[in-house]
Structure 1
């Protein structure tokens, strides 16, 4: 399907509007007034949550973007896995999904069919149904899902409720956008690119399935804002995340490519957003870039009670062996994130 990726000016979660700009744009939006809306856009959480009974709440999310790989089938799988992730990060179970499709008339219709087939394959793997969708013609291909899930309100997991003493687990390796940037520049590594693509296709279903028997206090999926900006959302004003950069799981060649300044515009937006909130003194430039790197269909950042951390990590590693303990949560110190 030649030309699928070439038709796009940006792709994946790196195409997201910057966190700082998005915050400003949302200020004019009305505040939630319905008490059944447990989580809305003002909460900066991963998805919206609406309670429909004392025992049930619906989780709704929508996520789509333009391609970051040239194979339409693979792109469909990545986009669907990314959209499903918000449901898993909040402790919910997806129920059904709707396609969101933008497609140029000039591209072959076989590419559209392959893209949709890839998305359907991931929806099937998630164990849910594809119930419909909406499509339009556009100058660039874009694809994603609107996903509805459910959760018991008392078991809802937020992205900003860690507890002091918690341990932080990251379930996928960092460096997706940097590796793909190297590939686009013609200096990539085939094995590294394959590892990044495999990671992006991986559902967070398997890690989230381990949550129920452990004290998981907070969770978020690490996507377009990078580890540091998503970490800021978790820390908020009450806590500090202490992250050991030596323990970060990294994709093959990611550090090498970052050292060669194969970075992305999305990563630079993330750096601008984080600004001086995080002290990067003593952190190697290439590791800094990986901390800011936008992750398309990235892993889960989990804040779990210290007493459960080792057992939860072992359980997650049965399906996601790259998962690592990367730090701890403390009460608020001077900075929201401390890097070691």
Structure 2
């Protein structure tokens, strides 16, 4: 508007220096809005903070140039326009951003008001600086409170999302999360392992449910320690667990099954006692290009798991075995620490 001579310009017309300043202001505004659009559409951008800082700097430069232009060429004092970069700084960087913008505009304001044919009235500069400082504190503190509120809401949302997709006892993903993971791998190879603990009921009956809960937590920890970063282990309920392996071949799954048996069969400390549980594991493999659902894989793995249980019962011939179902699983109470 200054460049277009909308205001009451001096009689000699708009000087070339003012036109140059106005073109620079327009360029800074375009750059600031471009960065703002990038931040709006890509809030997770790693340059978000730098782009925001560039916006605040551009806002400060433009408004300072506007105040200077109006004061020097139109003899109009518009120091209230410097509130805009202060508020912009508070929105992007809370109280520190507001105070930095206030410091920059307060250092600039005396240089502008001291020039021109009409010097400011006594106290105008002090009044402007104090008003700007009040705006900085009010907008900065409110922006900080709003930011904390948003952060609390985000934390609550994340907590609710975690509760909806994870088992509260073991912290492992639940059925819903396992199903989501499997759906994202449709058409790709996937190995499904189904694990069922043997002897868990005896621990609950003899030591109580608190001991059983500790066994489940320790088992979940051991399963999680055996699998890779791209695999997913979850608890289906009770003493039944599921492991999804998106990159494992049948041979690789067999190696993992051996490690799982070794880890789960190791004694678990529950208070002053040591207990052991066995585990039956069934597996199902889906090759690439196959679109078998997780339910179908789980059914196949479940059949394989119970076949293993039946084979274990027949081969044990009445002797205790860590793979032999509920009636023969070893549950050791008060196992000596030295022996462990």
| TM superposition score normalised by structure 2 | 0.23
Relative to its length, the structure with more helix (as a share) is 2
Q: Which structure has the greater CA radius of gyration? A: 2
- Higher relative contact order (Cα pairs below 8 Å, separated by 6+ residues): 1
| TM superposition score normalised by structure 1 | 0.23
